[in-house]
Amino acid sequence: MTEYGKEPSYGVLNYSTPFGQHSQTILTKQWLSPSISGVLGSYENWNIVPVDAEAMWDALIVTLKPFLSSDYSYDLLTIFNFDTGINKFIPVTGKVLAVAGTGTTDTPRKAVQQTINMRSAGGQPVKLVFLDAPIGAIDFDKQFASSFSSAALALLAEFSDPDNAWSARDNTRPSTGLSATYDLNDALRKQYRMI
């Protein structure tokens, strides 16, 4: 495995906004083909207990959707697994989604990037990034974990729960919430012809 690579497995969540199509890459422990209750396979969680992949992803999406406006939508989940025989990632399973955002803030949001910063159990950075993120009255001020909203705290609890199999690039569990930062994404501003 590549040090700080995406191995052994990860998922890509595709979502759409009124401005464009985006994706979030989220790392996991090793994906396993047998399913438990769903149809997307399974993982061994950080407590060394099997957990159903579909149930785990569905629960995470519930905590992600408050960060999207109600006219945004999670559209597709694709799970990738590293194939050592051909030395590359291959898509192994997926699921069409139709999950609307539940956020109530609408502006500003176009080309806004929100990054939730965490630390792994191994001390390395872990980030969850939202594009076209509606931020409202936060006004681009950095937020520390001590002032996180209930939605951010719920997301951190789900993402760091050892009963799940979410992973950091150092192959340890996401552990501690640090901050949330906000910025205008220059690549999106160019794509949207804002500059």
Residue 60 inside a domain? The answer is yes
Residue 46 inside a domain? The answer is yes
Element (H, E) at 157: helix 150-160
Residue 2 inside a domain? The answer is no
Q: What residues contact residue 146 under an 8 Å CB cut-off, 6+ apart?
A: none
Pairing of strands 50-52, 174-184: unpaired
Range of the domain at 145: 9-191
Confidence of residue 106 (pLDDT cuts 50, 70, 90): confident
Element (H, E) at 46: none
How would you class 68 by CB atoms within 10 Å of its CB: exposed for 0-12, middle for 13-18, buried for 19 or more? buried
CB 22 within 8 A of CB 72: no
Confidence of residue 2 (pLDDT cuts 50, 70, 90): low
Residue 3 inside a domain? The answer is no
Kindly provide the residue ranges of all beta strands, DSSP E only, lying in 29-87, ordered along the sequence. 42-44, 50-52, 73-83
Residue 133 inside a domain? The answer is yes
Read off the pTM. 0.94
Tokens of 68: 């999207």
Least confident of 45-49, 64-68, 93-97, 141-145: 141-145
Q: Which of 179, 169, 175 is nearest to 143 (CA)?
A: 179
Residue 4 inside a domain? The answer is no
What's the structural domain count of the chain? Answer: 1
- pLDDT of residue 147 exceeding 70, the answer is yes
Residue 1 inside a domain? The answer is no
Give pLDDT, residue 57: 98
